[in-house]
Structure 1
Amino acid sequence: MSHTELLRDKVVVITGGGSGIGRELALFIAAHGGKVVVNDLGTSPSGEGADLSSAETVVNEIRAAGGEAVANGDDVSTWVTAQRIIATAMDAYGRVDAVVNSAGVMRHAAFEQMPPEDFDLVLKTHLNGTFYVSRAAAPVFQAQNSGAYLHMSSTTGLIGTMGVANYGSAKAGIAGLSRLIAFDMKRYNVRSNCMAPSARSRQWERVNAFRQAEFAKTGANTDFRQFRSTQGTAAQIAPVAAFLLTDGARDITGQIIGVRGNEIYLYSQPRPIRSVHRSEGWTLEGLEEQLVQAFRPSLTPLETYGEVFSWPTI
């Protein structure tokens, strides 16, 4: 199959498709012959309001270019509305070939100052929303004996940074959920992967500004503006995300793929890397004597994703 046919007539549901990575992916898929359901509640980056116009604008762009798309403004974070998102695809096209979970909001604060309602809202949108929309599509995939999920995780959850315990927790949870979906849906010929994209966006700029302000309080002179050069663009992520939905990626499931500029990463997933044992069992004294010394060379440094990916994008 030629690369131009990999997406031909594939029906793809994209949540958060009105802006950022979701928007670029919707445009890319439609330009390559796919049919797109552009879902976007149209909230602000921090989750206020609702406006269907962001989804409709993307749909109009696709149609103006000769592609096929429909808009949906339902909320991913409730079971009832998540089912309506999938129903929109079934009503318009009679099938769903792939689901991309890209919808999200962000509210940041230092952990010790984070309002519980901000934690709940971000988890509900990202993690619950990913579950709800994926679960709503599961019977369709099961009946078709085919399908692909792609969930947006983040280096914030996989590696870490400051001021986003809610967002990072949700993104780490999504990585785990993706792999567990892969186990359960394998019997129906359904794949599930997640991406950890690095791209400049409204949310990324807001987090960067927050980190800058927090570091300033400590007297540190770290300039987080330098990390802009370590971020790619949403347009660079779209081809990789789209490919993972196609039959060309049929052997890839349960994986975490990173994209940063023109670089693609395969992330490792938790595995034991060191072990110690004592046949007589452990005491506090024995642990103090042996455990720290044995593990110290392999302990993961407390580095932010900006420190891990410190070189400019390629």
Structure 2
Amino acid sequence: MARGRVVAVTGAGRGLGRAHALAFAAEGAKVVVNDLDVGREGEPGGAVAAGGAGFGAEGPGGPAAQVVAEIRARGGEAVAHGGDIATAQGAASLVDCALDAFGRLDTLVNNAGFLRDRMLVNLAEDDWDAVVRVHLKGHFLPLKHAAAYWRAEAKAGRRVAARVVNTSSGAGLAGSVGQGCYSAAKAGVLGLTLVAAAELDRYGVQVNAIAPAARTRMTEEVFARTMAAPGEGNFDAMAPENVSPLVVWLGSDASAGVTGRVFEAEGGRITVMEGWHPGPSADRGARWTPAEAGEAATGLLASARPPHPVYGAEPAP
């Protein structure tokens, strides 16, 4: 399905990113495997902390190099990239890496991120900045530099059939207690996806987002190992590999015409999310008084659908 396409995947040394990189390679894509090699909360030297050889993200002991080695061992083509995609230089070098190694870039999968879970009153400004930086800025900058390349290709008269797959979360869709910075960043990814899809369509670029649920370093404390009922092949519903087929499809020519959409993916389930839509409304034709506005809002709420519960919130009494 993705044969011959050049795909860059950020945060591809472990978890979902690794699964995506391997899945694209299995479908014949050439893959740029980006990973900065940091820990679960963004601390440096994740491979070293885990007992790796300590050669950095691209070196023999780094996670990006390990994924590249896996792909090559299976007959695929891949290169490692260890730049920080939340910097302009690192994001630009990601695109350059694809061009230098394979001559073009067709698909960008924005996946890199880490967590610093804190309740709001305990959330430090540095933690907020770090999480918003890696998730939101780390989506914006690779998208910006890839889009500039694709726009130049389109203006030069060359056919562009580019794909971007952004990574949001259920926390970005509904919120998650203890994850204020992560939820805000992932909600921002959704807004960025919608704008990018509208702006870049004229250049042949499709932009979509996924909200995956899978067992990774970031979620290992949330998800216990989940297996399907006997007789279904012991299906591991929380395996990150379950999410990758949708990502490969979105990143391929086969998804032509699909843009500006958000999909939840978990286990064997795929859901198209419908986002914010106008609900009940009242128009007085003139300015409300506070009392009148309150009365109108109360009536509208009575006929509106209840909001999706925030993950981890106490159930209503």
**Cα distance change of structure 1 residues 225 and 12 upon mapping to structure 2, 3 Å threshold:** closer
Task: Note the 1:62-141 alignment, pairs <5 A.
Answer: 62-141=71-150
Distance 1:115 1:41 in 2: 23
Alpha-carbon shift at residue 246 of structure 1 (Å): 1.0
Q: Which residue is equivalent to 1:176?
A: 191
1:41 aligns with 2:50: no
Contact in 2 for aligned 1:198/1:231 (Cα 8 Å) = no
The answer on whether the counterparts of 2:109 and 2:164 sit within 8 Å (CA) in structure 1 is: yes
Contact in 2 for aligned 1:161/1:303 (Cα 8 Å): no
Amino acid at match of 1:85: L
Count the aligned residue pairs. Answer: 286
SS of residue in 2 equivalent to 1:203: coil
The partner residue of 1:147 within 162, 172, 175 is 162
Indicate yes or no: 2:262 matched with 1:256: yes
Give the C-alpha shift of residue 232 in structure 1: 2.7
Letter in 2 for 1:245: G
Distance 1:227 1:291, change over 3 A: farther
Superposition TM-score, scaled by structure 1 size: 0.86
Summarize the Cα distance change of 1:225–1:20 in structure 2 as closer, same or farther, 3 Å threshold. closer
The equivalent position to 1:273 in structure 2, one of 279, 289, 297, is 279
RMSD of equivalent CA atoms: 2.0
- Kindly tell me: are residues 201 and 14 of structure 1, through their superposed partners in 2, closer, same or farther at Cα, counting changes over 3 Å? same
CA shift, 1:141, in A, is 1.5
Q: Deviations over 1:52-86 (max 9, x none)?
A: 11000000000011000000100011111110111
CA 1:302–1:33 in 2, change beyond 3 Å: closer, same or farther? closer
TM-fit CA distance, 1:226: 9.8
Q: Counterparts of 1:58 and 1:90 in 2: how far apart (Å)? A: 20
> What are the ranges of 5 or more consecutive residues in structure 2 without an aligned counterpart?
46-55, 229-235
Unaligned runs of 5+ in 1: 1-5, 209-223, 308-314
Shift of 1:190: 0.6
User: What whole-Å deviation, never above 9, does each CA across 1:167-190 have from its counterpart, x for those lacking one?
Assistant: 111100001101111111110111
SS at 1:202 equivalent: coil
Q: How many angstroms does 1:200 deviate by?
A: 1.4
C-alpha separation in 2, matches of 1:24 and 1:18: 9
Q: Report how far residue 293 of structure 1 moved.
A: 2.1
8 Å CA contact 2:280–2:303 kept in 1: the answer is no
**Could you tell me the percent identity over the aligned residues?**
35
Cα distance change on mapping 1:186 and 1:292 into 2, 3 Å: same
User: Does 2:292 match 1:286?
Assistant: yes
Q: CA deviation at 1:271?
A: 1.8
Residues 127 and 228 of structure 1: CA distance in aligned 2, closer, same or farther (over 3 Å):
farther
Q: Is the contact made by 1:100 and 1:149 (CA closer than 8 Å) also made in structure 2? A: yes
Whole-angstrom CA distance in 1 between matches of 2:185 and 2:131? 7
1:260 shift after superposition: 1.0
Task: Please report the TM-score for the alignment, with normalisation by the length of structure 2.
Answer: 0.86
Provide, for residues 100-133 of structure 1, a one-character-per-residue CA deviation record: whole Å limited to 9, x for no partner.
0000011010011100100000001110010000
